[in-house]
Chains A and B, each alone.
Chain A
């Protein structure tokens, strides 16, 4: 056992004012207690890679601060065997006026490296940081591009040699190249039987990197254990999705005097052993409406929105003459089409191709999980669509130097 956390809690006093005036130096009135962490316990062994997940405000960063000794818990104990290095950002303490070389020593020392450790790793650090930085080693870092700044910071961090490495997900931001490099480095480190604590929102990264997961919710341990089990739990909790809507009587159903929703459902075609819809699966939307208009030409128009509200597509049916009664229909979305993310479907009923009878907004809300096989990079896949069109390349001739 290399890290043991016993019943730690952290209380903050939340004030309307950020800081107190000297007048209420001696009283604590007008403040609310807020428990950022509440009785959290767990332990991990040498070589474990622990992922810490949870929503914003779950207490992830508070836990991170306590484990890296930046702040003390209000109660409880943390026992750590060995040297801890925490990476809550890259380039901590870089001084803009100092040169790249000077900042390597400054940042290294701040992260807990001894001077001889930095000396012996110096060449490797600048090699890792890249050619560009090698050329500007004696230039103040205020003249660096933000990319160079981050690369130098990460290069130093990558050469830390602690027993426990605590990493915040902020490290996984930046350009794609950098994400690949940093997560790749973490994988490399984790193969060396090093203990890692990784705090992240990124479920894909956690599931690929970590063997154990701690799931926090509002300061409390929701679950702790093997990553696979915990993540299934987490995803189930998080799919606050509306996959089905059904109404038995016409009066309570949404809509108006012309048209009301009776039923709609999103049904994924899952593979065996699969619990959640992911990017590979096709899925079908089926729906029923109560139509109270006689002899009217209707057509349906479906909009698919991203979680951020951008319209990804609009697809419409042919207009058809309909009578009062129940209208049913369906739409099938292919697999390997939408990217992972959260989506909303709205359905519009249109009369005579020009008059909107009703727009059923947020009819269905659903998540598509990510899926990658043999991946080395776990950053967010960009884009709303993720087709697997045939995309080929091959070697056509061999260039032989001796020919």
Chain B
């Protein structure tokens, strides 16, 4: 326990390094491509258009409980993308920086934390697009919008917890590198990203199990903050948030334990 306290003290001292890595990632990410930062907008918009086509033209669904599907889908996508890209980046953060971790010491968790920066910027841009579209559809954001940082926090904890678990284990057990893309791929459909939990017909007790997937509660709470009069089931949210904290703590503890000999397996 004392170890963990001194570990986080060290982490605070390394704030300079975290910000340097963030600057590096942002500069490299947005300066290398022609369209640069525009990609952060193009990608979620493309996903949105595809799902709108599927829902409206194929399934003939235009709204869910009075909310236009566009808003359900877009809000889901920006939250999901932050988690998925963040998780993915954290999971590969050690392997992508082997040249560094084999040559110099610093708390390795820094690489994971810093790798959330690019998804974060994408998220902010996505949010701006959402706000514009929500005004167009007549569902402008209200004061509950102030709760969005809570969503960001929990999505970050989730990305870090799960990502650090994969980062620390996928070096020794390379098979795990094939598992993390599956989580993102199937998780997208198992989580109410392009639908709302209200459109899932569950018995109550089953939906509690459903909420064990932390993204279920986090994304639904996120919609509650974004969409006026969006109804949620607070018990489900609570389950999801508790599971998130639990996964985060487990992920970090495993990572801290493994990080000291991580290099031996590279």
Binding site for B on A (CB under 8 A): 12, 19-22, 25, 65, 68-72, 86, 88-89, 92-93, 95, 97-98, 102, 105-106, 109-112, 114-115
Contacts and interface: CB of A to CB of B under 8 A. Distances in A.
B104 A92 contact: yes
Given A22-B173, A25-B173, A97-B32, A70 B27 contact: no
B104 A86 contact: yes
A88 B174 contact: no
A70 B103 contact: yes
Contacts of A114: 16
B16 A115 contact: yes
Interface in B91-120: 97, 99-106
24 contacts: A19-B171, A19-B172, A21-B175, A22-B175, A22-B176, A70-B101, A70-B103, A70-B104, A70-B263, A71-B261, A71-B263, A88-B104, A92-B99, A92-B103, A97-B27, A98-B28, A106-B20, A106-B24, A109-B20, A110-B20, A110-B100, A111-B104, A112-B106, A115-B16
Contacts of B56: none
Contacts of B99: 92-93
Contacts of B104: 68, 70, 86, 88, 92-93, 110-111
A70 B175 contact: no
A21 B174 CA distance: 7
Contacts of A19: 171-174, 265
Contacts of A21: 173, 175
Given A22-B175, A97-B28, A106-B20, A70 B105 contact: yes
Nearest to B170: A19
A69 B103 CA distance: 10
A114 B175 CA distance: 38
Given A69-B105, A88-B103, 19 more contacts: A19-B172, A19-B173, A20-B173, A22-B175, A70-B102, A70-B103, A70-B104, A71-B261, A88-B104, A92-B99, A92-B100, A93-B97, A93-B100, A97-B28, A97-B31, A97-B32, A102-B24, A110-B17, A114-B16
A105 B16 CA distance: 10
A2 B102 CA distance: 24
A89 B98 CA distance: 13
Nearest to B263: A71
A141 B23 CA distance: 16
A19 B172 CA distance: 6
A111 B261 CA distance: 20
Interface in B68-110: 97, 99-106
Contacts, number: 73
Contacts of A70: 101-105, 263
B24 A98 contact: yes
Interface in B2-59: 16-17, 20, 23-24, 27-28, 31-32
Interface of B: 16-17, 20, 23-24, 27-28, 31-32, 97, 99-106, 171-176, 260-261, 263-265
Contacts of A22: 173, 175-176
Contacts of A115: 16
Nearest to B27: A98
A110 B107 CA distance: 11
B260 A95 contact: no
Nearest to A95: B24
Interface secondary structure of B, over-half rule: helix
B97 to A, nearest CB: 8
Contact of A105 (B20, B97, B173): B20
Nearest to B174: A19
Contacts of A93: 97, 99-100, 103-104
Contacts of B172: 19-20
Nearest to A88: B103
Contacts of B23: 102, 106
Contacts of A89: 103
Per CB-CB distance, the 8 closest pairs between chain A and chain B, nearest first, are A69-B105, A72-B260, A22-B175, A109-B20, A19-B174, A92-B103, A88-B103, A71-B263
A68 B32 CA distance: 34
A19 B105 CA distance: 23
B59 to A, nearest CB: 38
B105 A86 contact: yes
B27 A102 contact: yes
Contacts of A95: 24, 28
A43 to B, nearest CB: 21
A71 B264 contact: yes
Contacts of B102: 70
A110 B106 contact: yes
A115 B260 CA distance: 26
Given A70-B104, A95-B28, A65 B263 contact: yes
A68 B100 contact: no
A68 B16 contact: no
Contacts of B103: 70, 86, 88-89, 92-93
Given A19-B173, A21-B175, A71 B17 contact: no
A22 B32 CA distance: 37
A206 B239 CA distance: 63
Contacts of A86: 103-105
A93 B106 CA distance: 12
B174 A68 contact: no
A109 B17 contact: yes
Nearest to A102: B27
Nearest to B102: A70
> Which of A20, A72, A89, A93 gathers the greatest number of chain B CB atoms within 10 Å?
A93
A89 B101 CA distance: 12
Given A20-B172, A98-B28, A68 B20 contact: no
A102 B16 CA distance: 14
Contacts of B174: 19
Nearest to B262: A71
A180 to B, nearest CB: 24
Contacts of B24: 95, 98, 102, 106
